Amino acid sequence: MFDISAIDLARMQFAFTVSFHIIFPAFSIGLASYLAVLEGLWLWKKDVTYLNAFNFWKTIFAVGFGMGVVSGIVMAYQFGTNWAVFSDKAGPVIGPLMGYEVLSAFFLEAGFLGVMLFGQKKVGPKLHYFATLMVAVGTLFSAFWILSVNSWMQTPAGYVMNDAGQFVPDDWIEVIFNPSFPYRFVHMVLAAYLTTAFVVGAVAAYHLLKNNTDKAARVMFSMAMWMAALVTPIQMVAGDQQGLNTLKHQPAKIAAIEGHYEDYRGAPLVLFGIPDDEKEELLYPIEIPKLGSLLLTHSWEGELRGLKSFPKEDRPNSFIVFWTFRVMVAMGMVMLIVGIWSLVRRVQGRLYDDRWLARAAIVAGPTGFIAVLCGWVTTEVGRQPWTVYGALRTAESVSPINAAEVATSLLAFIVVYFVLFGMGVFYMLRLMSKTPDGDTDHETSSLKRASGLTGAPSTLDHSGH
């Protein structure tokens, strides 16, 4: 009945659920820090515009955070159903790291989320700000542990194998701070910040096109464009450093990304082409001579290994990683163009008046999500055919399952995810369409109450001054 193997269906199911899941944490990590900045500015400058923006994004964060938690829990169950062998063999390393994530990150987020969402009338402003900070720190802790787990699967270190064939931690410092972790953590956190910045920028641009005097929309747009202009170049440097690290530890992945089948000295930078793993050649290449070696080895004559230097059974799918990588880079270029454009308009004093810039910001709104998804696919497909790189193959990690069962659960996931999370995303879009510069008299007056552990300032009036 099914032509697709159980392992391919299991891989499809995990790819589908993790792709759905990752967009929510990527948004939540950046938005939590953004909320902390907005509330900090409100407390510092006493400008109610920041409070308006904070309250505008607070509810959107709650919806996105909730969908991220639900989609993550569902995804985790697959370790026990489809990937039980992997769970058994890598559990002594993976399990504690995931446990640390729950203890240090999820408890922090969940513990203070209620205060952040519903505590403005219950506690003083400083305690409320502390809760917002803890939620932001919790999202970063979560990213730390999840990236540590995933990086260990990419570049395993600090373990020994026991008699039962399990990975057992030998040095937790080496496990956690494995060779690719610092690069991947920085790259992912910056990606999350840029993802959020471009969503905020798009929403602010939408409201500016309707009313470019809206103060909250102006603040949101200005902050988002600063992030686009300043952080996008930093992200490109971080991506370059991760590429160098990948070349050192996963050269087959780099060969697939670059579309190189032959070994090269002075390798060209391939802009476009069609990798053909069957013929073992890149069809219709468009190249820039020598530039590939210069970027990856910092030498015009640097040597790069091609896919043919690796056994066929150890190579990733070149077509997928070649194109997902280029889409990710293209999204980065769009971000850079919008950032530079906004910088020019800011210098000219026309940041809020350029309607074409606002339209471009709206179009660029999803670029962060697309880049995160494509980067994740490049990383994970490029790791294949290994779950633990060089030590445990994907084919050896799957549970003894049959294709019909996995196909049924995959279909159920697709239906439930699109209905449930589709409704959630629709609700978030509805919230984003509402005017951000709303009436905050009620919220402001609530902050004046001397309640909770920290008393509210008694000198604030409704305008925040």
Of the listed ranges 147-161, 339-353, 413-427, the least confidently predicted one is 413-427
Which range among 12-26, 145-159, 213-227, 268-282 shows the weakest confidence by mean pLDDT? 12-26
Cβ atoms within 10 Å, residue 102: 12
- Rounded Cα–Cα distance for residues 316 and 252 (Å): 7
Per-chain mean pLDDT for the chain: 88
Q: What is the pLDDT of residue 69?
A: 83
Size of the chain, expressed as the number of residues it contains: 465
Say what the pLDDT of residue 372 is.
94
**Predicted pLDDT of residue 457:** 42
Query: Residue 2: which pLDDT band, with cuts at 50, 70 and 90?
Result: low
pLDDT band for 447, please (50, 70, 90 cuts).
very low
355 sits in which H/E element: helix 355-363
pLDDT confidence of residue 299:
86
**Which pLDDT score is estimated for 82?**
87
pLDDT in tens, 5-16: 888 888 888 888
Residue 440 near residue 51, CB atoms below 8 Å: yes
Q: And the tokens for 279?
A: 């013929």
What is the distance between the alpha carbons of residues 154 and 102, in angstroms, rounded to a whole number?
22
Q: What is the pLDDT of residue 356?
A: 96
Span 368-404, pLDDT tens digits: 999 999 999 999 999 999 999 999 999 999 888 888 8
Pairing relationship of beta strands 303-304 and 264-265 according to DSSP bridges:
antiparallel
pLDDT tens for each residue of 242-290: 999 999 999 999 999 999 999 988 889 999 999 999 989 999 999 998 8
Is the per-residue pLDDT at 303 higher than 90?
no
Q: Quickly state the pLDDT bin for 32 (edges 50, 70, 90).
A: very high
Question: 403-433 and 181-210 helices cross at what angle (nearest 10)?
Answer: 40
Closest CA to 284 of 322, 253, 237, 235: 322
> Is-above-0.75 flag for pTM?
yes
In the DSSP assignment, the letter for residue 390 is T
pLDDT confidence of residue 187: 95
SS3 459: coil
What pLDDT does residue 18 have?
A: 85
Instruction: Record the tokens describing residue 142, joined without a space.
Output: 């979560």
Average pLDDT over residues 151-158: 96
Burial 136-150 (b: 16+ CB within 10 A, else e): bbbbbbbbbbbbbbb
Which tens digits make up the pLDDT trace of 47-86? 899 999 999 999 999 998 888 888 887 777 788 888 999 9
Confidence category of residue 450, pLDDT binned at 50, 70, 90? very low
Long-range contacts of 77-83 (CB under 8 A, 24+ apart): 78/10, 78/13, 78/14, 78/17, 81/399, 81/401, 81/409, 82/10, 82/13, 82/14, 82/398, 82/399, 82/401, 82/406, 83/10, 83/14, 83/387, 83/397, 83/398, 83/399
Question: What is the C-alpha separation between 408 and 9, in angstroms, rounded?
Answer: 10
Higher-confidence position of 175 and 443: 175
Asked whether residue 416 carries a pLDDT value surpassing 50, the answer given is yes
pLDDT-derived band at 152 (thresholds 50, 70, 90) equals very high
Q: For residue 319, what pLDDT is reported? A: 94
